[in-house]
Amino acid sequence: MHKAFASQADLEVKKVTFTRLSANAYAYTAEGDPNTGVIIGDDAVMVIDTQATPLMAQDVIRRIRSVTDLPIKYVVLSHYHAVRVLGATAYKPQHIISSRDTYDLIVERGEADKASEIGRFPRLFQAVESVPPGMTWPTLTFTGSMSIWLGKLEVQLLQLGRGHTKGDSIAWLPEQKIMFSGDLVEFDATPYAGDAYFQDWPKTLDRLAALEPRALVPGRGAALITPAAVAQGLASTRGFIADVWSSVKAGVAAGKDLNAVYKETFAKLQPKYGHWVIFNHCMPFDVTRCYDEATQYADPRIWTAQRDIEMWAALES
């Protein structure tokens, strides 16, 4: 019997907050659970990241309907992870949009990732049986950048570099300087980095910072509604990624195996980051991917449900 994932013991229902950032932008947040962004234009609504199941998406829709009756025409996937995309059908959008890199990741590993995520964190997949069979497929893809016009309101979808995954994209309101970062930025929540590019991620965050957002909706954690809070969110995410890379790189240089590097890195980072949401859950995945990148795997390996169990048992036994 393998030791259960730390997240399987996380059963506490989180308090949802629907925060108005401007006349057009809202943040749906839930105390460290995955966030959803909402942009209301002149003639349509855009949703950024969908929640994990159609049932869970219904709560987002209910809150949207409390402020507008405009049609939800667009759903944007900031990246491919199941917890972000499987609620898409609830919105009945005209288009589901992602970067081409995200589309390619769905083709390559969507089924495996779906199974592994549901097994790791069942609370985040309420009524998982409501998810239609198969994958959530984008109907529009872009490379680099794309503008969607909601009437006179421009929403820019931007790929600014690899980080959380190779397909990461953000939604950006240039006139209002409001950013929806997906999991490139977290706030008081541990970044999941099992599919990450550790050496690229800090540089990508620098490009986000260069846009000088005045407000930012992170992938997890409270909406950041002042430039100072945005700077703090960017800095803390960057610091965590840099600290994991530094510790793992030093262990690899010393010839230590993954188990030893994991234990050392956990001990080093726990005092600084251990209070963050899902720290215990993320660290084995984060260190394993970082160790891979520092040794022989430039690109993330596919996580299957079986690989998850074997890794967890090896590092947490």
Tell whether 245 is covered by a domain: yes
Q: Please list, in sequence order, all residues whose beta carbon lies within 8 angstroms of the beta carbon of residue 249, skipping any fewer than 6 positions away.
A: 294
The predicted pLDDT at position 1 comes to 35
Residue 301 clears pLDDT 70, i.e. is over it: yes
Q: Domain containing 25: what range?
A: 6-316
User: 73 and 93 in contact (C-beta within 8 Å)?
Assistant: yes
Between CA 197 and CA 289 the distance in angstroms is 9
Residue 317 clears pLDDT 80, i.e. is over it: no
Mean pLDDT of the 13-22 span: 92
Tell whether 304 is covered by a domain: yes
CA dist list (Å): 198 to 38, 183, 190, 288: 29, 14, 14, 12
Residue 180 clears pLDDT 50, i.e. is over it: yes
Domain CATH for 126: 3.60.15.10
Residue 115 clears pLDDT 60, i.e. is over it: yes
CA dist list (Å): 256 to 199, 262, 264, 266: 20, 10, 10, 15
Between CA 110 and CA 144 the distance in angstroms is 22
pTM greater than 0.85: yes
63: its two tokens: 């809150």
- pLDDT: is 4 or 83 the higher one? 83
Tell whether 1 is covered by a domain: no
Q: How many domains does the chain have?
A: 1
Mean pLDDT of the 202-221 span: 98
